[in-house]
Structure formats: C-alpha cells, structure tokens
Chain A
Amino acid sequence: MGRTLAEKVWEAHTVRQGTGAEPDLLYIDLHLVHEVTSPQAFDGLRLAGRKVRRPDLHIATEDHNVPTTDIELPIADPVSRTQVETLRRNCAEFGVRLHPMGDAEQGIVHVVGPQLGLTQPGMTVVCGDSHTSTHGAFGALAFGIGTSEVEHVMATQTLPLRPFKTMAITIDSADGTLPAGVTAKDLILAVIARIGTGGGQGYVLEYRGSAIRALSMEARMTVCNMSIEAGARAGMIAPDDTTFAYLKGRPHAPQGADWDSAVDYWRTLRTDDDAEFDAEVRIDAADLAPFVTWGTNPGQGLPLSALVPDPEAIADENERVAAEKALSYMDLVPGTPLREIAVDTVFLGSCTNGRIEDLRAAADVLRGHQVADGVRMLVVPGSMRVRVQAESEGLHEVFLAAGAEWRAAGCSMCLGMNPDQLKPGERSASTSNRNFEGRQGKGGRTHLVSPLVAAATAVRGRLSSPADLS
C-alpha cells in the first residue's frame, strides 16, 4: 500500500523503530529556539553536564518578549529583560546561533526559519512553540514541543514518539481559486470551526486539493500555522514548484548540484495515490467566505455575514455551556450581526499573518482610507526582514498615513508578553491565532480575522470586509 506524505517523512527520520512500549526514535533536522521555553532546558543540560549535541542544527531568535517600539533601548520590563539576557548567555555558552533584538534577521521564530531557507521539504522541525506547525507548509513534519522535549532535542537531536495518525483536508474549487475576499486565514478558520478544537488531536493534517495548490507559500504557512488550533500535531502541504521557487536562492537553500539532488528528492514527497488516510474531510472552496470568531476558542467562528449564535440552539451540553461562558466573557448578545460588533483595537501581525503578503493585502485596503476615530491599529511585521521589505515598497507610508502604528518585529499583541496588550474590556480584531480569554491582555476580547478584514475593520470601526468599504 502507498504511503502518505507524513509517513514518508516519518520513515525517513526513524533512527530506531520502537519495540514493546518504547516508541520510535525520530531524528530532528532543525530546532528553533526562543527565550520563553528554553531557559529551563538549558539549565537541565547544565545540571546533567550535557552539551547541545548539534548546535549546527539549532537557531535562536528573540520574539515573545521583545518590545516593538524603542528597540534600541534596554527592555524596560526587568523580568522580560532577564529572560532575553538569559537566552543570550545560554546561546553563547552552548554555541547556538542567535538573532537578537536589533539584528537584521531577528523576528518571530516561524517567520525567520522559512525566510532564511532553513525550513525545507521533508525535514523534521521542532520548537518549544505550538505554532511550529507553520513549517509544514513546505512539506516538512513540524510540531511544537514542551520544554522537557526542548532539552531532549538539545541533548540528543531526537525525540521518542509514536507515529501520528493522518487526516486529509481536501479543499477543491472549480477554477482552483478562493472566492473574492476569502484568504488562507478564512479557509483555516472554517476548517477549525468544522472539525473543532479537538478534532485534529493525534493527527497530522495534510491540506490538499486544487484550492490549496493555488495558494502562495505565505498563504500555505497561514493555513499550516493554525493546525494546532484544531488540536493537530502538525499540518502539511506537499511541496511543489511553488515551494521550490520560494526556496531557490535563499541563504540556506541548497545550491548547484545539491539543489538538483534536493529537488529530485522533494518531488517524491507527496502522498501516493493508493495511500490511505485515517480520516478525511472535504470542503468546497465555493462555500468559503470571510470568517471571524465570536467566542473564546478558535473553533467558535462564523462567516462575517452571520449573527452571534444563540447557545440555546446548541444541542451538545458541553458546547452550549462553553458558548454561554464565551458570550458572557465577550459581552455579546445572541442575534447581533457580527458586522455590528465595534472594536477599539486592530492588530495586524503574528506568525499567522505577519508576512509581507499580509501587509500588502492590508495596505491595499487601507490606501486612501483612515483608521476610524477611537480605533488604534498596530502593524507589527513578523520579522525585521519583512519590515525592511515593506518599507522598500512604501507600505509603512500607507499605514502611517491611515493613522496606524508602524512597529518593529515580534510576537507582540498576539500574546501580550511585551507591552502590546489589550486593557480589560477592550476588544480587538486580530490577525493572530488565539482568541482565548485574556490572551491579548487580562480582560481583553479578541476576534480572529484575516488581514483584509482587519484593515476594513480598522476603517469602519466594526467587523467588516473590504466589500463593506465601497
């Protein structure tokens, strides 16, 4: 029987097959490191007298804590500063390459890896961050791990793991495109609403079908990024010419004869026609529309044209109770059109939607418009490279002219570990990935949206799509 893409990558990285209770031992090609989930792992190595086995397969960046203004100054919050300084000391001691604040390659770890060409098809990629699933857009098997596993990878460059199950998410469309105004973000929010926040548990999701093939690499990264919000271990998309074109010429991509060998191998990384998935989901791209969340988990989403749902109409008791709690926290009344929900903050950025195409899309909507009175809009590029690129295209001038704030790179308001936070009761339209209670600041309320909806919402002050501006 044929094998799926995930199974091929798994088998190519099996150091040792599991026996009895012991699982397979999987080799890790690339370990991405940041300041929040690594200090205790480095400490563990020190206590045990261990080294980082392969520092040449590790790369670190500062992203979660870093401020996005005044980055030439020391970090004001002493606890954040200590965490960042600890990463610098650890990387120096253990020989790990680091891109600190102020460095040209600094940025969110999941933006930096692909942009350097370090993320390549068929690799295994891990990081102490759940959005590591982003890298699956290249046909890599990429997943988030906890700090104990971070230490394990540092010490052994492997992880003991049971094979993941496989789920095909097939999204087809007659002409291979998404409906007007529908982006990769809307697509993945619809997938999560369909299978639920636990629907992907234990699975690698492989996104396939004509609508996926037509996506750019950056759009594919948005899709794979949020696989974790469906509970999945990872998301993957088989590499193709779009992937190879994105990689060619990047600093760490293979060159010359190596490039040809690599592409020959990468072309084998597709699910065989006779392979069987453990589960399959099909979505017709024609049914997709701009999608926003109304609740406090990413599965609680609906098309922008819908109304705030009535929990009474939900049959499952757990889901009904969850919806009641969510609406209470979000301060929303059932039956309210989603388009009437007013926000005071718009956040454009994160590892989900902080890439150049996201910034271009939002700038196109904002051009010639103003951010509504009483709304603040933060534009936070995913990396300093993205920031430089945007400035070379004049996008920052569009944002600034509209009244938005143009910031330096980092995770920023996606999780509010730096000063970019919502205040209690504030409401955001956010291109990030999580609308959990308090995620963007204690008492803050989050609606997850695409960059297009974020920009249109900034202009109207209410959840909107670009079509609402004309």
Chain B
Amino acid sequence: MEPFTTHTGVGVPLRRSNVDTDQIIPAVYLKRVTRTGFEDGLFAAWRGDEHFVLNAEPYRAGSVLVAGPDFGTGSSREHAVWALADYGFRVVISARFADIFRGNSGKQGLLAAQCEQSDIELLWKLLETEPGTEVTVDLAAKTVRAKDFTASFSIDDYTRWRLLEGLDDIALTLRHAESIADFEARRPSWLPSTEPVSTG
C-alpha cells in the first residue's frame, strides 16, 4: 500500500445521507474477478442523472468526496472502495461511516475522515458556491482545510499509522505467527472442521 500523508484535490459535495454500497456500486458491477476497472460502476444509477454532482465540471475531476452521514452502509462489498479509488477519490469525508466500509477503506489507502456534521455543512456550502475549490487533507495533523475553512477529523490510531506508513496488514499479523500457532494448540478438540463428514 502507498503511504498516505497529505492529499489536495477538488472537493465534491454529495448532499445525501445513507449512501449505501449498492448506490456506490450496484451488484451487477461486482462480477469481475480482477482488482481494477471498477470506476465505471461508481454511482452508476445516479450518473445517469445529468444533475448528479459528478456529471458537472469541475467536480468531475474531484478526489475528495464530502458526503452526508452514514456513508457506506449495507453490503460488505470492498468493490465500493475500489470503485471510489479507481475513479480517483483519495478521501471520503462524512460524519458517520458504516463499520465495514470504514475497515475496507483503511485496507486500500482510501482515507475515511470523520468530521462533525456542522463542519460538513460549511464545507458543502463552500464547495457549492465556489466549485472546484481544492481541499487539503493532512493525515498527520488530522485536519481538513479549504480556503478559510479548517476542521479536524477523527480516525482510529491503528488505521492512521498503517496509512501513514503504507503498511500491509497481513505482513503485520504474520509477525505474530508463533502466537497464532500457540492459540491453535489450545483450541478445544470438539470445535468443528469443515472436512467432509459422513451424513449417513
């Protein structure tokens, strides 16, 4: 994973709450077996609407999405994060994120920055009155800045550290391979294995 320190890019105001992952990428786009090329599915249904924010310049080239609360609810599909990242987004700002989406973002270097809803309202106004305004997100300082606007955001320390260092989760866990083996030796013998059994 590429380290994430700061990012500056055009902010995109998405005035919707409960943006579920079926909206971010509908199920029909989940059939690929590769990791790339999901940008065509991003907000597929809404992009058919000419008034949708990503259909307007200069938002089209945005990389910082500013959304309403409860972003990423519903399905666990990591494709939602891939679609946002493949399109060019590096940051999503929301007052509340669904847990699985937040976790998936952290694995893929997409920063899920949690801000107060009152700050998001201010940012929406700024991005709508001055389209194309660039937003700078500083992960070390945990701040969002755009023109005169400044706000802090929250993110859990572990995800922040991994993003700043660009660390691979699996490699981190494999440092504890011995602890995992010790744990396995202590598991009760009656726990099920998926090895086929006779069903009589």
Query: Which residues of A come within 8 Å of B, CB atoms?
Result: 15-16, 20-23, 25, 27, 29-30, 36-37, 39-40, 43, 48, 50, 54-59, 64-65, 77, 79-80, 82-83, 86, 97, 117-118, 120, 123, 128-130, 144-149, 151-152, 155-158, 160, 162, 197-198, 201-202, 228-229, 231, 233, 251-254, 258-259, 261-262, 265, 297, 318-319, 321-322, 325, 415-417, 434, 436-439, 442-443
In the complex, identify which listed stretch (B55-63, B131-139, B172-180) lies at the interface while the others stay far away. B172-180
- The contact sample of 13 A-B pairs, CB cut-off 8 A, is A21-B161, A25-B179, A27-B187, A36-B77, A40-B78, A48-B170, A57-B193, A118-B194, A146-B81, A155-B170, A416-B28, A437-B23, A442-B45
| Residue of B16, B23, B73, B194 touching A197 (CB-CB under 8 A) | B73
Distance A16 CA – B180 CA, assembled complex (angstroms): 8
Distance A445 CA – B200 CA, assembled complex (angstroms): 45
Q: Tell whether B141 is near chain A: CB-to-CB under 8 Å.
A: no
Contact A252 B192, CB 8 Å, known A146-B104, A322-B17: yes
Q: Would you give the 0/1 interface string for B55-96, flagging 1 where the beta carbon is closer than 8 Å to chain A? A: 000000000000011100111111101000000000000001
| Residue of B15, B34, B70, B160 touching A198 (CB-CB under 8 A) | B70
By a CB distance below 8 angstroms, the chain A residues around B34 are: 39-40, 43
Q: Tell whether B31 is near chain A: CB-to-CB under 8 Å.
A: yes
By a CB distance below 8 angstroms, the chain A residues around B184 are: 27, 54, 157
Can you name the residue of chain A whose Cβ is closest to the Cβ of B101? A146
Query: Which residues of B come within 8 Å of A, CB atoms?
Result: 15-18, 20, 22-23, 26-28, 30-35, 45, 68-70, 73-79, 81, 96-100, 103-104, 107-108, 117, 156-158, 160-161, 169-170, 172-174, 176-177, 179-180, 183-184, 187-197, 199
Contact A197 B173, CB 8 Å, known A148-B104, A148-B107: no
Having A55-B194, A79-B31, A118-B192, one finds 10 other A-B pairs with CB under 8 Å, namely A54-B184, A57-B194, A82-B31, A83-B32, A83-B33, A148-B78, A198-B96, A297-B20, A442-B26, A442-B28
Distance A97 CA – B196 CA, assembled complex (angstroms): 8
| Residue of B76, B98, B174, B193 touching A201 (CB-CB under 8 A) | B98
Can you name the residue of chain A whose Cβ is closest to the Cβ of B77? A37
* 4 tightest Cβ-Cβ pairs between the two chains A and B: A148-B107, A146-B104, A146-B78, A39-B33
Distance A325 CA – B46 CA, assembled complex (angstroms): 12
| A106 → chain B closest CB, angstroms | 14
| B29 → chain A closest CB, angstroms | 10
In the complex, the answer to whether A157 meets B180 with C-beta atoms within 8 Å is yes
By a CB distance below 8 angstroms, the chain A residues around B179 are: 15-16, 25
Distance A79 CA – B195 CA, assembled complex (angstroms): 30
Contact A16 B176, CB 8 Å, known A43-B35, A322-B18: yes
Distance A338 CA – B108 CA, assembled complex (angstroms): 43
| Residue of A56, A147, A416 touching B78 (CB-CB under 8 A) | A147
In the complex, the answer to whether A145 meets B103 with C-beta atoms within 8 Å is yes
Best-buried of B28, B68, B108, B161 by chain A (most CB within 10 Å): B28
Can you name the residue of chain B whose Cβ is closest to the Cβ of A89? B33
In the complex, the answer to whether B76 meets A146 with C-beta atoms within 8 Å is yes
In the complex, the answer to whether A417 meets B22 with C-beta atoms within 8 Å is no
By a CB distance below 8 angstroms, the chain B residues around A29 are: 187, 191-192
In the complex, the answer to whether B22 meets A434 with C-beta atoms within 8 Å is yes
By a CB distance below 8 angstroms, the chain B residues around A158 are: 173, 176, 180
| Residue of A21, A25, A198 touching B173 (CB-CB under 8 A) | A25
In the complex, the answer to whether B69 meets A198 with C-beta atoms within 8 Å is yes
By a CB distance below 8 angstroms, the chain B residues around A146 are: 76-78, 81, 100, 103-104, 107
